[in-house]
């Protein structure tokens, strides 16, 4: 119990929501000004922002978030795809299509099927995947999970390979996390789902029902040496103001304890799923979701933010402007979903477009699609990454790496329409590389890619 209250103090969070319930324009403008210094915000500041409904002020929050996003992440938007490996699950999470009491047929990929799915994803243009598993120690023990990882890293097609694997598996112990670390994962993601303990306990049964196990999992991962950690909330389960303050509290706690904050936040909203009937008294509207994203951008500027295909193309487009730095595209949410096989899905997605179509919208927004995986391969993770990111020392390298990976995409996968449009975005982006040496080297490497070189990065 004591451990939990170090991470989130329910009483404190409720009293902040109460205390900040009547923000004046002056308070909000001062907080926005503070946020633009990119040093983050205190919980009380965030409380005031969350309690703002005035359309003009919310507009100003969005503007500041867009500015911070541009200053830190530039025009880049990183792409990835989820790969569902197994729908076997011993838990009965009431919101999820894989919940144990759903009588649907379960599927676990064989290593041959993992290879097939990976080849399909490589041939769609992806370079980074997020692996998804239900929790089932009998069917999918940690050694199976690391075999899957090994198989994917070894899979190649004439269009390339997957270069970074992020993993979303159930909370586990230090020993298992050490095995994930040794298997060379990128980020370990685990969502708290809801930080409100009574709601958490109501919605879960099985080993995941332990609120403490879920909340302390990231500490175990850090102890095992994994220093890129992803946090998230499943919005809709409880009051979003409480969830956002708790998420930031958790991030502050990790930063204080391990000197490294989370690498990413995910902001999934609950979506309909097979055999799930859920009352959603805390449904989060599109406007509220966008406000959450903008506030998180102000509150923790250096933490990447992920939006998935749970959201519609229109919502995603708006979200990219105000804070999102990573997005999935053309996702399937069932094991084997990228092939012809039809298996149960975890939930339904709202954006079903192909990768090239998503890229087209992103290019029309003037953004640069990036398939970069350089940092983790160069050891720029955890504290090393933040030490470079915070003083702005990595920005020009990220832009250059983004350009190089997008050039590969244009050469190998893009439609004619995107090739033309993409070249324009590359030219605009090159103008933004102010460091002469990096600019000259980037131009040289772009030529090498045109001549057939691949996987070159800073």
Contacts with ligand SF4 by CB under 6 A lie at: 89, 91, 93, 96, 98-99, 134-135, 170, 208
Per-residue tokens: 126 = 């992806």
Who contacts 403 (Cβ-Cβ below 8 Å, separation ≥6)?
Answer: 368, 426, 429, 430, 442, 446
Per CB under 6 A, 168 contacts ligand SAM: yes
- Residue 101 CB, nearest approach to ligand SAM (Å): 14
CB-based burial label for 39 (10 Å; 0-12, 13-18, 19+): exposed
- Residue 98 CB, nearest approach to ligand SF4 (Å): 4
Per CB under 6 A, 170 contacts ligand SAM: yes
Q: Which stretches of 288-400 are assigned E, i.e. beta strand?
A: 304-307, 326-328, 368-370
- What does 191 bind: ligand SAM, ligand SF4, none (CB cut-off 5 to 8 Å by kind)? ligand SAM
- Residue 268 CB, nearest approach to ligand SF4 (Å): 11
- What does 270 bind: ligand SAM, ligand SF4, none (CB cut-off 5 to 8 Å by kind)? ligand SAM
Interface pick for ligand SAM out of 230, 268, 304, 323 (rule CB under 6 A): 268
Which residue's CB is nearer to ligand SF4, number 96 or number 306?
A: 96
Which residue's CB is nearer to ligand SF4, number 93 or number 296?
A: 93
Cα–Cα distance measured from residue 26 to residue 29, given in angstroms and rounded to the nearest whole number: 5
Number of other residues whose CB lies within 10 A of the CB of residue 172: 22
Cα–Cα distance measured from residue 237 to residue 52, given in angstroms and rounded to the nearest whole number: 21
Cα–Cα distance measured from residue 386 to residue 363, given in angstroms and rounded to the nearest whole number: 28
# residues contacting ligand SAM (CB under 6 A): 20
Q: Which residues from 310-329 bind ligand SAM, rule CB under 6 A?
A: 310
- What does 99 bind: ligand SF4, ligand SAM, none (CB cut-off 5 to 8 Å by kind)? ligand SF4
Per CB under 6 A, 429 contacts ligand SAM: no
Cα–Cα distance measured from residue 411 to residue 348, given in angstroms and rounded to the nearest whole number: 32
Cα–Cα distance measured from residue 155 to residue 50, given in angstroms and rounded to the nearest whole number: 45
- Residue 25 CB, nearest approach to ligand SAM (Å): 36
Interface pick for ligand SAM out of 79, 88, 200, 270 (rule CB under 6 A): 270
Cα–Cα distance measured from residue 144 to residue 137, given in angstroms and rounded to the nearest whole number: 10
Q: What share of the chain is helix, strand, coil (3-state, %, to 5)?
A: 50, 10, 40
Per CB under 6 A, 347 contacts ligand SAM: yes
Q: Which residues from 62-121 bind ligand SAM, rule CB under 6 A?
A: 95-96
Q: Which stretches of 175-321 are assigned E, i.e. beta strand?
A: 188-189, 229-232, 264-266, 304-307
Interface pick for ligand SAM out of 45, 193, 311, 408 (rule CB under 6 A): 193
Cα–Cα distance measured from residue 27 to residue 33, given in angstroms and rounded to the nearest whole number: 10
Per CB under 6 A, 132 contacts ligand SAM: yes
Binding residues for ligand SAM (CB under 6 A): 95-96, 132-135, 168-170, 190-191, 193, 234, 268, 270-271, 273, 310, 346-347
């Amino acid at each position: 119990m004591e451990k939990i209250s170090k991470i989130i103090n329910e009483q404190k969070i409720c009293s902040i929501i109460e205390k900040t319930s009547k923000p004046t324009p002056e308070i909000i403008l001062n907080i926005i000004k503070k946020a633009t210094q990119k040093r983050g915000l205190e919980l009380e500041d965030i409380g005031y922002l969350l309690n703002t409904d005035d359309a003009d002020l919310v507009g100003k929050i969005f503007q500041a978030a867009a500015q911070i996003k541009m200053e830190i992440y530039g025009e880049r938007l990183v792409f990835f795809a989820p790969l569902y490996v197994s729908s076997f699950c011993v838990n009965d999470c009431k919101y999820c299509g894989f919940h144990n009491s759903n009588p649907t047929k379960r599927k676990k990929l064989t290593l041959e099927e993992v290879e097939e799915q990976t080849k399909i994803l490589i041939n769609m243009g992806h370079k980074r995947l997020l692996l998804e598993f239900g929790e089932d120690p009998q069917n999918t023990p940690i050694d199976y999970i690391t075999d899957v990882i090994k198989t994917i890293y070894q899979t190649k097609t004439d269009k390339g390979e997957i270069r970074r694997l992020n993993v979303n598996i159930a909370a586990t112990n230090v020993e298992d996390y050490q095995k994930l670390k040794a298997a060379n994962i990128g980020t370990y993601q685990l969502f708290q789902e809801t930080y409100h303990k009574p709601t958490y306990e109501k919605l879960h049964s099985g080993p995941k029902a332990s609120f403490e196990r879920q909340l302390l999992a990231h500490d175990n991962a850090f102890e095992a040496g994994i220093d890129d950690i992803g946090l998230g909330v499943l919005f809709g389960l409880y009051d979003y103001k409480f969830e956002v303050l708790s998420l930031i509290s958790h991030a502050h706690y990790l930063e204080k304890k391990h000197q490294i904050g989370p690498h990413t936040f995910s902001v999934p909203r609950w979506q309909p799923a097979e055999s799930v009937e859920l009352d959603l008294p805390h449904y989060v509207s599109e406007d509220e979701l966008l406000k959450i994203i903008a506030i998180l951008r102000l509150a923790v500027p250096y933490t990447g933010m992920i939006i998935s295909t749970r959201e519609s193309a229109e919502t995603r487009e708006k979200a990219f402007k105000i804070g999102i730095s990573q997005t999935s595209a053309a996702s399937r949410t069932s094991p084997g979903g990228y092939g012809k096989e039809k298996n149960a899905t975890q939930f339904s997605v709202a954006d079903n477009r192909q990768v090239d179509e998503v890229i087209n919208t992103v290019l029309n927004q003037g953004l640069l699609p990036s398939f970069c995986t350089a940092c983790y391969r160069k050891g720029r993770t955890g504290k090393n990454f933040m030490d470079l990111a915070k003083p702005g020392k990595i920005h020009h390298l990220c832009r250059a790496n983004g350009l190089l990976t997008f050039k590969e995409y244009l050469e190998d996968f893009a439609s004619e329409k995107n090739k033309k449009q993409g070249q324009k975005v590359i030219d605009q982006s090159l103008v933004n590389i102010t460091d002469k040496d990096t600019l000259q080297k980037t131009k040289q490497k772009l030529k090498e890619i045109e001549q057939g070189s691949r996987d070159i990065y800073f």
